[in-house]
């Protein structure tokens, strides 16, 4: 069951004029689509949307919408914010079933940084992927993935195989064991300046043990 329920109304007036009218009435305009049905213009209560966003369980999570007692599971796909006030201005909702497999990006949380021998020696945590895209049932999306760096030395890395995933989830990338983060060190290098003098500069050493070439 979804943790969040949002009350929605169907907007009879569509387009920019209808969206502006919804905002004047303290609502957030949106579109409900997917599930083999036609798109529907909707409005959501502004205070409920703000509460949902602040909960941290809105985007990329299954929520429930309620239209006059008729409830539907959805995944918020996109929220547009006002460039100055940061108020939500438009929301796209996608109809799903809780058992439906969807692709969704899940945040990675790093633990054990205070114990990492590499970080204690002056290394830095170089995060390659802040999020990992998973194929997972809509009703069982994990809150986050946990990456433990407590035993990592400089040059070590965390790969997707090091992270415990839910039994019913798998990465969308399956052709390689991709890197999540590395412990990078710093080493002195000699650089020749334009006037011919040698200067010592600091250059970052990025995971000498990584061999999958992830840059995305």
Closest among 186, 92, 191, 96 to 141, alpha carbons compared: 96
CA–chain centroid gap for 19, Å, is 27
- Give mean pLDDT, residues 76-83: 92
CA distance 37 to 40: 9
Q: Alpha-carbon distance 168 to 24, whole Å?
A: 43
Q: What is the pLDDT of residues 171-186, one digit of tens each?
A: 999 999 999 999 998 7
Q: How far is CA 93 from CA 30, 32, 61, 62, in A?
A: 7, 5, 11, 10
Q: What is the pLDDT, as a whole number, of residue 17? A: 84
pLDDT band, residue 2 (cuts 50/70/90)? low
- What are the sequence ranges of the domains in the chain? 5-96, 107-129+146-205
pTM, whole model, 2 decimals? 0.68
Average pLDDT rounded to a whole number, residues 77-82: 92
Residue 59: per-residue pLDDT: 81
- In CATH, 5-96 is 2.40.50.140: no
Whether residue 159 is predicted with pLDDT greater than 60 in this model: the reply is: yes
Q: Which residues contact 177 (CB under 8 A, 6 or more apart)?
A: 159, 160, 161, 212
């Amino acid at each position: 069951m979804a943790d969040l329920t949002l009350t929605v109304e169907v907007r009879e007036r569509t387009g920019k004029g209808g969206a502006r009218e919804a905002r004047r009435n303290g609502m957030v305009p949106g579109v409900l689509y997917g599930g083999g049905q036609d798109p529907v213009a909707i409005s959501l209560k502004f205070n409920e949307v703000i509460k949902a966003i602040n909960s941290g369980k809105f985007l990329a999570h299954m929520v429930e919408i309620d239209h006059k007692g008729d409830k539907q599971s959805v995944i918020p796909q996109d929220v547009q914010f006002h460039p100055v006030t940061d108020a939500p201005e438009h929301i796209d909702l996608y109809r799903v079933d809780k058992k439906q497999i969807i692709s969704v990006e899940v945040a990675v949380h790093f633990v054990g940084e205070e114990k990492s021998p590499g970080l204690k020696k002056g290394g830095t945590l170089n995060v390659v992927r802040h999020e990992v895209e998973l194929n997972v049932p809509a009703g069982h999306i994990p809150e986050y993935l946990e990456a433990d760096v407590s035993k990592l030395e400089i040059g070590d890395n965390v790969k997707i195989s090091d992270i415990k995933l839910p039994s019913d989830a798998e990465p969308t990338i399956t052709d390689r064991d991709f890197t999540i983060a590395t412990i990078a060190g710093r080493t002195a290098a000699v650089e020749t300046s334009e006037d011919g003098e040698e200067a010592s500069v600091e250059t970052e050493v990025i995971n000498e043990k990584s061999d999958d070439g992830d840059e995305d």
